[in-house]
Structure 1
Amino acid sequence: MREQRRRREGNRWWHRFRRGRGPRGEVTPDLDDPGLTVVAESFAVGEADSAALARASAWSPGRPAVLRHHLLLPADRVPEATALLAPDGWDVREAGREGDRIRVHALRADRLDALLCARERARMAGLAQRLGGDALGWDALQPPG
């Protein structure tokens, strides 16, 4: 019973956040905003996410950002990846082909910190492995200013 209540409350918070306002009233970035620029990234397997954020001079920690994971998946597994990620607010988009695989971006607006980046990187790596693909890395985008 407690778990169901916690899940419902979490969903309410997430839907409020996804509608354009976070829990603190800040406006969340639009995933399709052409003004978004890459402010942090990590494509090295051995690099800690905290190190990637520490070297990101353009990243504004106090503002929400778009976290974008880069995945390389077999074409027939992309719908499954979309179905698995959608309930948690991830928007999955095809970004190109590389042979018989499809490069996919999983995007979500969030307030970034090292723990969130590490947790989601591990989740994407596990998902990609289960689906016969690879998790290439992530980057974060924020609007200027």
Structure 2
Amino acid sequence: MGWLARWRQRRAERRVPALRIDSPGLEVVVEAFDLAEADSAALARSPRWRSDRPAVLRHHLDLPPDQVEQARRLLAPDGWELRGERPVHALRVQRLDALHCAQERARMAGLAQRLGGDWIGWDALQVPPA
């Protein structure tokens, strides 16, 4: 990518309001609840997901109620916010790609297992283009 293209991309990114977990207008653009499906396949089958935009990545976890605070303490340093009861949702704003989705899937599944729970799946939300 040349310097002009990078400059245009940075300029366009500055015009996009910062995405937050509670941003208005968020819609689910990709879902991954099939354990056998690769994260790359889930992203590839979604025509609404925009790889050039940040998204709210939301993992669905079934945790014992007495372990939710422990999960919150473990995830908070990396910017994850936990919401809900059963299932518990771990949410964070990030750019999505297959590698990071797979890494976070493994992390959330491992965390849920250590805390006596289960990882259910993930989905991602974005604000549709105007």
TM-score by length of 1: 0.77
Find out whether 1:115 has 2:105 as its counterpart. Answer: no
What amino acid is the match of 1:112? L
Which whole-Å CA distance do the structure 1 matches of 2:101 and 2:55 have between them?
Answer: 12
**Pairing 1:76–2:80 present:** no
2:29 equivalent to 1:39: yes
Q: Distance in 2 between matches of 1:71 and 1:47?
A: 18
The aligned residue for residue 75 of structure 2 is: 85
Percent of aligned pairs sharing the same letter: 64
Give the TM-score, by structure 2 length.
Answer: 0.85
String of CA shifts for 1:18-65, please: whole Å, max 9, x gaps: xxxxxx655431211231000011000010000000001000110000
How far off is 1:144 after superposition?
1.3
SS of equivalent residue, structure 2 residue 75 = helix
Q: Larger relative contact order (C-alpha < 8 A, sep ≥ 6)?
A: 2
Match of 2:116 in 1: 132
- Paired with 2:119 and 2:28, the residues of 1 have a C-alpha distance of 18
How well do the aligned residues superpose, as a CA RMSD in angstroms?
Answer: 1.2
- The alignment covers a number of residue pairs equal to 116
Gaps of 5+ in 1: 1-23, 97-101
Whether the 8 Å CA contact 1:91–1:108 is kept in 2: the answer is yes
Match of 2:48 in 1: 58
Question: What secondary structure, in the 3-state scheme, does the structure 1 residue paired with 2:36 have?
Answer: coil
Amino acid paired to 1:56: S
Deviation at 1:66, TM superposition (A): 0.5
Instruction: Name the counterpart of 2:18.
Output: 28
Q: Distance in 1 between matches of 2:36 and 2:17?
A: 33
Q: Distance in 1 between matches of 2:128 and 2:59?
A: 21
Q: Deviations over 1:78-123 (max 9, x none)?
A: 00000000000001101x4xxxxx3100000001000000000000
